[in-house]
Amino acid sequence: MKKNIFPFVLIFLLLNACHSITENHTENTVEETPTINYLALGDSIAVLAQQTLLSNVQEAMKNGGPSYAVGFCHSNADKIMDKLSSGMNVKIQRVALKNRNENNAPGDESEQKLLEYYDTQSKTGNPIKDTVFTIAKGALYFKPIKMAMPTCLKCHGKPGVDIDNKTLALLKEKYPNDKATGYSLNDFRGAWKITFSK
């Protein structure tokens, strides 16, 4: 009788041991997908994009003043952003309620509302912070842009006060539906939008 029980006990112990090994093996090899810090990553990309664009615009201003910079931006701003986007494997855009380039209008109602919220917060003196929305295929990151430099007003300030007539004429020629004038220093201008895709 004892001889008959031993093989069953042995099989039972072996099965339990195999089950334990399988469970431990599974636990050790399953890795959690690392959480991406879209806020920090978006900020670093937006800062780089802003620095790249501003350095190019400042160089254009040095080469030919505000009117030359308008022509430069019209021909090159989107190309600069496309090149950066491709190099970083994201989509980099600027969006604004008062857009100059029609490609920079809010993409949908939620973007419109976010920009309106930023604008209201800015006008009431409240801080406006970067925002991240998770989406099915990644994330959307928004970083508010303010009119931080007096040089910006030469193309985005008040016509006849900050913007000279030559520059204003060129703006009307290049951007017939331009809404991006009338700003003062530190006004809310728009936002960087970084689209992360999984």
Q: Which of 195, 180, 190, 2 is nearest to 96 (CA)?
A: 190
Domain chopping of the chain, boundaries = 38-197
At residue 152, the pLDDT reads 92
Residue 136 pLDDT: 86
pLDDT at 4: 46
Residue 195 φ/ψ, nearest 5 degrees = -100, 120
| pLDDT for the residue numbered 198 | 79
- pTM for this one? 0.79
If one counts every other C-beta atom within 10 angstroms of the C-beta of residue 77, the result is 18
* 3-class secondary structure, 122: helix
**Residue numbers of the chain with a pLDDT score lower than 50:** 1-34
CB atoms within 10 A of CB 40: 12
End-to-end CA distance of the chain: 63
168 contacts: CB under 8 Å, gap ≥ 6: 159, 160
**Residue-level pLDDT at 135:** 87
CA 85 to CA 50: how far, in whole Å?
13
The reported pLDDT for the residue numbered 35 is 64
Q: Tell me the C-alpha distance between 19 and 122, whole Å.
A: 61
Which residues are 190's β-sheet partners? 145
Tokens of 10: 């042995």
| pLDDT computed for residue 13 by the predictor | 35
Give the residue from 81, 57, 49 showing the smallest Cα distance to 167: 57
Q: What is the pLDDT of residues 141-186, one digit of tens each?
A: 999 999 989 999 999 999 999 999 999 999 999 999 999 999 999 9
pLDDT at 46: 97
